[in-house]
Amino acid sequence: MRLRLAAICAAAILTALGLTACGDDSASSSAPVALTVTASEPSEGKYAFDAPKEVEGGTVQLTFKNTGAEGHEFGLVKVKDGTTPDQVLKDLLDTDEGAPIPDFALSAPGGAGGTAPGASSVSTISLDKGTYVYFCTFSDDNGVSHYKNGMLGEFTVKDIGSTAPLPTTSASVQPSEYKFDVKGLKAGDNTFTFSNKGKEFHHLIAVPMADGATLDDVSQFLQSNGEGDGPPPIDFEKEQDLAVTGPGQSQVVSMTFDQGSYVFLCFISDKAGGPPHFTKGMLQQVDIS
């Protein structure tokens, strides 16, 4: 199962993990653990995550800094003990669209969605104890995924550094089977809770709609792999996305929206495999004012 529809998004969509010290135990119940992640490109065609072997968990505020010349993301999946990054690459990341999600993928806490060169993003996630594999599914100009050229690794959470709750937000996006429940988003900067209320893995891709475009136009465009006549009904150069979030899990994230109509969609397939969720209803028009 690929985590994004590469045939459509790779050309248009836009982490050296540098995990900093996480604070002392005296503050563990009152504030999130601070975690800084920095993306880098050490040489042409090579990408890197600089990550420690162990990360302090619980409630974690993740600051993602992209210092490279290409867009990057920081995806996370919690795996069964003994599962290697190479196994995640082979059986999860590098499979055909619609393939089943392997049983070793236990959960997905969120992470950092696509971040442009020179930009940063902040999200608050929850990391319980266990082994996590991290990756970037973006591709280079030749269509080779970054996780094949260095952006793939693992860390272990052995200790919980913060029991603070996730920050409270007035806005929310709640994915489930198969819809988004959207509340409180507005034009401008937004901090909101992305809370998966379903039983499947979900993520969010938010894309502005072209003037005069309809949801049917978007659906036809996506299902034709972008090969329709005329200009695209959506503007993928202004796309924003969130990292995959597992059933029952939440993350607090930020996005900036212009006034106008957006399409919210999910490209993930069910655990059992099958078509992407946007074909089942997770293709919604959201009007931002």
Mean of per-residue pLDDT scores for the chain:
89
The CATH code of the domain at 6-162 is: 2.60.40.420
- The residues spanned by each domain of the chain are 6-162, 171-288
DSSP state of 82: T
Q: Do domains 6-162 and 171-288 have the same CATH topology?
A: yes
What is the rounded distance in angstroms from the CA atom of residue 44 to the CA atom of residue 49? Answer: 15
In total, the chain counts a number of residues equal to: 289
Give the tens place of pLDDT for each residue, 119-139: 999 999 999 999 999 999 999
Q: Which CATH class is domain 171-288?
A: mainly beta
What are the tokens at 252?
A: 């607090």
Give the C-alpha separation, 14 to 33, whole Å. Answer: 28
Q: Which pTM does this prediction carry?
A: 0.89
Q: Are strands 188-195 and 152-157 parallel, antiparallel or unpaired?
A: unpaired
Who's near 208: CB < 8 A, 6+ residues apart? Answer: 234, 235, 238, 258, 260, 261, 262
Q: What number is the average pLDDT over the span 136-144?
A: 94
Cβ–Cβ under 8 Å, residues 263 and 215: yes
How far apart CA 139 and CA 109 sit, in angstroms, is 23
Q: Are 176 and 113 in contact (CB under 8 A)?
A: no
More confident residue, 29 or 47: 47
Q: Measure the N-to-C terminal CA separation of the chain; round to a whole number of Å.
A: 35
d(C-alpha 71, C-alpha 149), whole Å: 14
- Our CA dihedral for 151, 152, 154, 155, rounded to 10 degrees, sits at 10
For the stretch 80-133, pLDDT in tens is 999 999 999 999 999 999 999 999 999 999 999 999 999 999 999 999 999 999
